[in-house]
């Protein structure tokens, strides 16, 4: 299973033996592999590779999103942002709360978080560092624990804040996709999947009954 962000990388992954392609659009949270929105990437890759097994990543947080991706030609989807606030997630409590509160406009694609992940833009929640035009010194702003060791985190590190991180959490990279518009509660992972499945099945029965699909409401 290989995640890619361009049509050429999709072809290369298939040539090298990938069984499943995950097409990551620019709506996705975290580091971005390409520059196309997910619908455009899906159209381009599906046209080139009609028989490939394709999942999309970016913009999927509900069963309605999944149904829309399926009707656009995807076989499935991969989601990240919707699982960040779940009970099982090791994300920092502030990171979880921010995702639930955020709207798509609160996210930004930035090259700022390049320490540990050079030359790769990330979609993150806006903060003082993403909005600041100057680059500040990369002094340590937090620490995070790995086993018994305390590891310092420099400003502009690509590390996300976890439950073991202490310091200026606000300035850290909080990876978040535009689907945060539709992430409105903290729940267990099982409840998130159950709800998504229920919504998806509802969409399918609606389609079977001859309804037309309408865009998901944001809340």
Ligand X SMILES: Cc1cc2nc3c(=O)[nH]c(=O)nc-3n(C[C@H](O)[C@H](O)[C@H](O)COP(=O)(O)O)c2cc1C
Give the binding site for ligand X (CB under 6 A).
3, 24, 27-30, 57-58, 60, 78-81, 84, 160, 175, 177, 179
Instruction: Sort 210 into a burial class: Cβ within 10 Å, 0-12 / 13-18 / 19+.
Output: exposed
Query: Whole-number minimum distance, CB 120 to ligand X, in Å?
Result: 10
Nearer to ligand X, 124 or 129 (CB): 124
13 Cβ contact list (under 8 Å, min separation 6): 2, 4, 21
- Other CB atoms within 10 Å distance of the CB of residue 117: 16
And the tokens for 99? 């995702």
Nearer to ligand X, 16 or 148 (CB): 16
Question: Nearest approach, Cβ of 70 to ligand X (angstroms)?
Answer: 16
DSSP string covering 139-172, please? -EEEEEEETTEEEEEETTB-PPPBTTEEE-GGGS
Strands (E), the chain: 2-4, 20-24, 30-31, 53-57, 76-78, 107-110, 122-125, 140-146, 149-154, 165-167
Place of tokens 């996300």: 160
Of 164 and 207, CB closest to ligand X: 164
Cβ proximity to ligand X: between 89 and 206 the closer is: 89
- CA 41 – CA 88 distance, rounded (Å): 31
Name which of 38 and 129 has its Cβ closer to ligand X. 38
Nearer to ligand X, 81 or 165 (CB): 81
Q: Are strands 140-146 and 149-154 parallel, antiparallel or unpaired?
A: antiparallel
State the virtual CA torsion across 171, 115, 118, 178 in degrees, nearest 10: -20
């Amino acid at each position: 299973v290989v995640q890619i962000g361009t049509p050429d990388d999709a072809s290369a992954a298939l040539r090298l033996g990938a069984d499943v392609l995950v097409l990551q659009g620019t709506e996705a949270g975290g580091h971005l592999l390409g520059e196309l929105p997910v619908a455009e990437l899906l159209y381009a890759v599906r046209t080139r590779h009609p028989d490939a097994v394709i999942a999309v990543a970016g913009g999927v947080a509900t069963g309605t999103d999944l149904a829309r991706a399926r009707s656009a030609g995807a076989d499935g989807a991969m989601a990240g942002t919707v699982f960040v606030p779940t009970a099982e997630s090791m994300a920092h409590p502030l990171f979880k709360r921010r995702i639930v509160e955020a709207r798509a406009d609160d996210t930004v694609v930035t090259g700022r978080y390049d320490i540990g992940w050079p030359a790769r833009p990330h979609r993150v929640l806006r903060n003082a560092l993403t909005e600041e035009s100057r680059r500040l010194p990369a002094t340590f702003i937090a620490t995070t624990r790995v086993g018994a060791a305390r590891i310092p985190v420099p400003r502009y590190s690509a590390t996300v804040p976890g439950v073991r991180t202490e310091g200026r959490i606000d300035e850290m990279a909080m990876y978040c996709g535009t689907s945060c518009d539709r992430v409105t509660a903290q729940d267990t992972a099982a409840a998130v999947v159950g709800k998504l499945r229920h919504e998806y099945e509802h969409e399918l029965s609606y389609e079977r009954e001859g309804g037309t699909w309408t865009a998901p409401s944001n809340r």
